[in-house]
Amino acid sequence: MFRRCFFPMLLSLLMMGMATLGGLGQEVKPPEGFVALFNGKDLKGWKVSQGGKPDVWGVEAGVLYVSGGGGGWLMTEDEYEDFELHLEFKMPRMGNSGVALRSPLEGDPAYVGMEVQLLDDANWRGLRPTQHTGSIYDVVPAAKVVTRAAGEWNSLRVVCHRRSVVIHVNDHEVVRANLDDYKDHFEKHPGLTRPRGHLGLQSYNYRVEFRNIFVKKLR
């Protein structure tokens, strides 16, 4: 009896231990040349802007989350000029969020900076091309929709180098843009002309989760 039960019990205990360790928010080692923007434990290095409620943002089991609307934007304390940004995000059904690039702390990053749209594409209807995940919101449409089903993790990679912005979603290139090709948007989106600014995450409607947020300065 003991022999028959011992190994399943041992395996179960080991799995429980691994789950506990995974829930402690231990710091994840960045890829070579990158630094972590999120330490897996708290919101050190970030600040809430747009008059958002701080309690909408939090950390749980090594994941940075926004619990719903009303949180404004969670912005990095540091500014970035040319950089490569990696992160993973998980959307619920009808979830909506965004990633701010080169934004000041005041004003809507979609206009005074740039916003990379994040969305549960499959369940929203009537979207304009520039509203799909990976688009530079209201400016440059994503070439294709490659987001996974609601509740699954997706990857985002953004490279901003001077006037060039390249965006990958789930390892598919969806945007390759020279911002100077969009001068007709400069009046409505003056952030397209900014050389540097903060990075950020948007509070919009439902709970959205983020993890493995890394950045590398290119100059």
Residue tagged 């100059």 (tokens): 219
Helix (H) or strand (E) run with residue 10 in it:
helix 2-22
In single-letter form, the type of residue at position 131 comes to Q
Identify whether 140 is part of a domain.
Answer: yes
The CA distance from 140 to 149, in Å, is 23
The CA distance from 74 to 98, in Å, is 11
The pLDDT tens digits along the chain (219 residues) read 334 443 443 333 333 343 333 344 445 689 999 999 999 999 999 999 988 999 999 999 999 999 999 999 999 999 999 999 999 999 999 999 999 999 999 999 999 999 999 999 999 999 999 999 999 999 999 999 999 999 999 999 999 999 999 999 999 999 999 999 999 999 999 999 999 999 999 999 999 999 999 999 997
Identify whether 206 is part of a domain.
Answer: yes
| Residue 188 CB neighbour total at 10 angstroms | 12
Identify whether 20 is part of a domain.
Answer: no
| Residue 139 CB neighbour total at 10 angstroms | 23
The CA distance from 206 to 150, in Å, is 12
Identify whether 1 is part of a domain.
Answer: no
Q: Tokens standing for 184?
A: 């007709």
Reference 94, options 76, 121, 71, 115; nearest CA is 121
Identify whether 2 is part of a domain.
Answer: no
In single-letter form, the type of residue at position 166 comes to V
Number of structural domains (the chain) is 1
Domain range for 66 is: 25-217
Rounded to 5 degrees, what are φ and ψ at 210? -135, 150
Residue tagged 């004003």 (tokens): 107
Give how far the C-alpha of residue 123 lies from the chain's centroid of Cα atoms, to the nearest Å.
Answer: 19
| Residue 217 CB neighbour total at 10 angstroms | 13
Q: What is the CATH number of the domain that holds 195?
A: 2.60.120.560
Identify whether 10 is part of a domain.
Answer: no
Helix (H, G, I), strand (E, B) or coil at 143: coil
Identify whether 182 is part of a domain.
Answer: yes
β partners of residue 149: none
DSSP code, position 216? E
